[in-house]
Amino acid sequence: MKNNFSERRSNLAHKVLDDSAIIVASASVKSRISDTDYAYRQDSNFYYLSGYEEPESLILIRPNHDNEKFIIFCRDRDPLREQWDGFRTGQEGAISEYGADASYSINSVDQLMPELLKGSKNIYFSMSSPCGIDSKINHWIEDIRKNMRAGAEPPENLLSLDSILHEMRLIKEDRELDIMKHAADITTEAHIRAMQAVTPGMFEYQLEAEYLYAFNKNGARSPAYNSIVGGGNNSCILHYVENNAELKDGDLVLVDAGCEYQYYASDVTRTFPVNGKFSPEQKEIYTIVLEAHKQSIEQAQPGNKWNLMHEKSVEVLVEGLLSLGLLNGSKEENIEKGLYSKFYMHRIGHWLGMDVHDVGAYKKDGDWRELEKGMVMTIEPGIYILDSLKDVDDKWKGIGVRIEDNIVINDSGNEFLTPDVPRTIEEVEQTVQG
Ligand code: GLY
Ligand code: MN
Ligand code: MN
């Protein structure tokens, strides 16, 4: 499908004040050890507006200019460096392949930018994007000021681009949804593959390998975040990423793993029995979490406030924990005093998109915002019963369950991006038993 980068820049142009210039910098390269960098990943805001993937780049958008509305500063072509580090588009490619009206060497940015910003009353820049761009902008404005007596007019306002851009990114275009569905499909295949592979005695990292294989094999070059593969008590540690313990017969394993495909994330958790059969206690906990998952998703409707899904999850989880004797007292008291939080200590989910915890405000004017068509989110209730918890019967200890799916709000309700990841007890057991 045709890319929408220029359409996005036009949409953005309508949302900023007149006489504005918009500046976004690329992500920087991060060194891992000598001569070896972390895999480069372009900044999401930068990519969203340009599609340009090279580091040491910067875009300048000037909607009110007749020419040179969209400028890319980028690295120069360099045959020697390209032999070592890979192809560069250079300025010519930035124009021909990425639709820039003009392109200049990144080495000349300090020299050219003051001239290019002259006459723009407002400068928008992404505070959430990297590279210390704010201090560079201050230098460029300082250079314009030096020429005021010669008639130069420095910009008057420095403004954050983030709220405007993040609102755009929050509502997904059809093209973005197609990519996200593809990411979700790859992640679905990975979870099924892992469920079929798991067996007692395997190490958590070996199960992780099944995910990485399925991601890469299907064109997703990396996970969207560090995969969490926790067996037994490790399933209760929310950000467990050591993934180095042995998976034991009788334990559950919780896997929170999703791929990034063409800059879009998927984020799916499944919890399954290492030996293929849930124990009665594991089944009880799983059933409660699944019910919370189901009832929370019913709240994911256009016009409903974001918070309703979370409140529903708390209600269902508390009812379940009370029925098992893991909580005592009244439902109201447990909710009001947050007594459930030793078992459920995170919220129901988050926006999902180019970033796994995607951009976009959750509140507007102090109140939870309403859901709208095109918003993509995770739903991920869980119950975690750490070994070390006091006043808990031993039979529950070391059980951690989270069930996480990705949904998109549509006209009439919502749709799963991940409908086919085994979810019910029967589906999960059947898949693991293979
Ligand atoms: N994988 C991170 C999360 O579920 O939020
Ligand atoms: Mn997750
Ligand atoms: Mn998540």
Atom of ligand 1 nearest to the CA of 256: 1
Instruction: Using most ligand atoms within 8 A of CB, pick from 191, 313, 350 the residue to mutate for ligand 1.
Output: 350
**How confident is the model over 391-409, as pLDDT tens digits?**
999 999 999 999 999 999 9
Cα–Cα dist 24/161, whole Å: 9
User: What residues does 257 pair with on adjacent strands?
Assistant: 268
- The pTM score is 0.97
Average pLDDT, the chain: 96
Q: Tell me the mean pLDDT in the region 251-268.
A: 98
Lateral strand order in the sheet of 228-231 = 228-231, 252-257, 268-273
Ligand 1 interacting residues, C-beta cut-off 6 A: 225, 256, 267, 350, 356, 380, 404
Separation of CA 333 and ligand 3 centre (Å): 28
Closest ligand 1 atom to residue 380 Cα is 4
pLDDT at 58 over 90: yes
**Which residues, 6+ apart, have CB-to-CB distance to 370 below 8 Å?**
302, 303, 304, 305, 306
Positions annotated as catalytic residues are: 35, 239, 256, 267, 346, 350, 357, 380, 384, 402, 404
What is the pLDDT averaged over residues 143-172? 93
| Residue 3 pLDDT level (bands cut at 50, 70, 90) | low
CATH code that applies to domain 171-433: 3.90.230.10
From the alpha carbon of 267, which atom of ligand 1 is closest?
Answer: 1
Residue 50 and residue 22 in contact, taking contact as beta carbons nearer than 8 Å: no
Q: Which amino acid is at 250?
A: G
At 201, list the tokens: 């005695």
Å from CA of 266 to ligand 3 middle: 9
Look at residue 26 and tell me whether its pLDDT is greater than 80. Answer: yes
Among 306, 308, 330, 302, residue whose Cα is nearest residue 318: 330
**Tens digits of residue pLDDT in 128-143:** 766 688 889 999 999 9
Q: Which residues surround ligand 2, an ion (CB under 5 A)?
A: 256, 267, 404
> Residues 219-229: pLDDT tens digits?
999 999 999 99
What pLDDT was estimated at residue 345? Answer: 98
CA separation for the pair 140, 147 (Å, rounded): 12
Which numbered ligand comes closest to the C-alpha of 270?
2
Phi and psi based region of residue 100 (left: phi greater than 0; alpha: psi -120 to 50; beta: remaining): beta
Nearest protein Cα to ligand 1, atom 5: 357
- The two structure tokens encoding residue 113: 């930018």
As a CATH number, domain 2-168 is: 3.40.350.10
Q: What confidence score (pLDDT) does residue 1 get? A: 38
Among 243, 267, 348, say which to mutate for ligand 1: greatest number of ligand atoms within 8 Å of CB. Answer: 267
Q: Domain boundaries in the chain?
A: 2-168, 171-433
In this prediction, residues 191-219 reach a mean pLDDT of 98
- For 29-45, what is each residue's pLDDT tens digit? 999 999 899 999 999 99
In angstroms, what is the span from residue 256 Cα to ligand 1's centroid?
Answer: 7
